[in-house]
């Protein structure tokens, strides 16, 4: 008995070492530096350097922007707020920001509503040809906007929507709905059919099933689709450049480019300030929803 126990001791140690997981080799400091700290530092640098560059360029005086012989390109001497003042008070940037927010929110809301109904119908109603319809929606998402904006421009002109916010609010869903529908189809597909069947037996209507069962369980999908749709709307350029002409009605991507670049004159300080301020809402949106998104993904199965 004792001999057998002694013979099994090395075997038990090996089993214990194996059970501790494959990440035990990270415990030593040199390996941590090589496998964790250095890759993390490179990732953080690549991620944050563009924001740092935009920030220092936005507060650099004009003479420091190109005079690299006397000034460092990575630092600022005697920072100024003239570029930011020019952007906020001498251009229509506040209007561009407001237009971008309104258009992105409205287009995202319309796209999510349409995508929820489309994804639920394709995945849960089980009609003939539903798989083909789902594939067609996915293929529609792959069509480049540069091809669609020509026929959409004709429709916008005929409907009298040119140079209005509705021109973008109604055309952005053409590329948002296919993507959101395709994403929500995957989330609806992962929900067990037994929940829906039990609700039908209890007398629930399709609307009640959708609002009280499917949507609460698909919260991670709704958040993901909403964030991506909002980001795509916020950064869209082709439609905004084609359908909006007036300076006051432009969005940030088109306004910053067309109003702050005049012939061969580039307002680099104001350009960087406009790009920085324009990227902050999206960054805040992602940082605000990241915890809720992760918690929803981990808690969706339990619920």
User: Do 41 and 150 fall within a single domain?
Assistant: no
User: Which pLDDT score is estimated for 27?
Assistant: 64
Question: What are the pLDDT digits (tens) for 218-249?
Answer: 888 888 888 889 999 999 988 998 899 888 88
Looking at the structure of the chain, the number of domains it has is: 2
Average pLDDT, the chain: 82
The verdict on 191 and 223 lying in the same domain is yes
**Token reading at 74:** 């990575």
Q: How far apart are the C-alpha atoms of 233 and 285, rounded to whole Å?
A: 14
Q: Residue 14: its pLDDT value, please?
A: 52
What pLDDT does 302 receive? Answer: 41
Residues 147 and 74 in one domain: no
Lowest mean pLDDT among 22-31, 82-91, 248-257: 22-31
- Asked whether the predicted pLDDT for residue 101 surpasses 90, the reply is yes
Global pTM value: 0.79
Q: Is 43 exposed, middle or buried (0-12, 13-18, 19+ CB in 10 A)?
A: exposed
Q: Is the pLDDT of residue 2 over 70?
A: no
Within this chain, do residues 61 and 190 fall inside the same structural domain, yes or no? no
Same structural domain for residues 146 and 189? yes
Are 202 and 178 members of one domain?
A: yes
In the Cβ-directed half-sphere of 115, how many Cα atoms lie within 13 Å?
A: 34
Place of tokens 């349409």: 114
65 shares its domain with 153:
no
52 plus 149 within the same structural domain = no
- Summarize pLDDT for 41-71 with one digit per residue, the tens: 999 899 889 889 889 988 988 888 888 878 8
pLDDT at 106: 95
| Nearest 10 degrees: Cα torsion 127, 199, 219, 118 | 20
Within this chain, do residues 122 and 265 fall inside the same structural domain, yes or no?
yes
**For residue 227, is it within any domain?**
yes
pLDDT at 95: 92
In this prediction, residues 267-286 reach a mean pLDDT of 86
Give the number of other Cβ atoms within 10 Å of residue 126's Cβ: 9
């Amino acid at each position: 008995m004792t001999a057998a126990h002694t013979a099994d001791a090395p075997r038990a140690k090996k089993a214990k070492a194996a059970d501790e997981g494959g990440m035990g080799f990270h415990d030593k400091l040199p390996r941590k530096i090589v496998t964790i700290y250095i890759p993390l530092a490179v990732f953080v640098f690549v991620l944050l350097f563009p924001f740092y560059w935009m920030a220092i360029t936005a507060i650099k005086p004009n003479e420091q922007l190109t005079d690299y012989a006397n000034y460092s390109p990575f630092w600022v001497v005697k920072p100024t707020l003239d570029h930011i003042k020019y952007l906020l008070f001498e251009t229509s940037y506040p209007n561009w920001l407001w237009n971008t927010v309104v258009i992105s929110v409205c287009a995202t809301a319309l796209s999510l509503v349409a995508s929820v109904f489309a994804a639920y119908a394709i995945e849960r109603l089980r009609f003939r040809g539903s798989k083909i319809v789902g594939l067609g929606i996915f293929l529609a998402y792959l069509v480049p906007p540069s091809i669609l904006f020509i026929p959409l421009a004709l429709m916008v002109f005929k409907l009298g929507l040119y140079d209005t916010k509705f021109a973008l609010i109604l055309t952005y869903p053409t590329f948002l709905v296919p993507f959101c529908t395709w994403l929500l189809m995957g989330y609806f597909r992962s929900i067990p059919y037994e929940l829906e069947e039990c609700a039908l037996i209890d007398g629930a209507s399709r609307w009640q099933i959708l609002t009280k069962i499917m949507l609460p369980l698909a919260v991670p999908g709704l958040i993901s689709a909403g964030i991506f749709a909002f980001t795509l709307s916020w950064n869209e350029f082709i439609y905004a450049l084609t359908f909006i002409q007036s300076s006051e009605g432009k969005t940030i991507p088109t306004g910053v480019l067309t109003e702050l670049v005049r012939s061969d004159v580039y307002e680099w300080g104001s350009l960087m300030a406009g790009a920085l301020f324009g990227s902050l809402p999206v960054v805040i949106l992602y940082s605000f929803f990241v915890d809720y998104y992760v918690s929803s993904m981990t808690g969706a199965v339990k619920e």
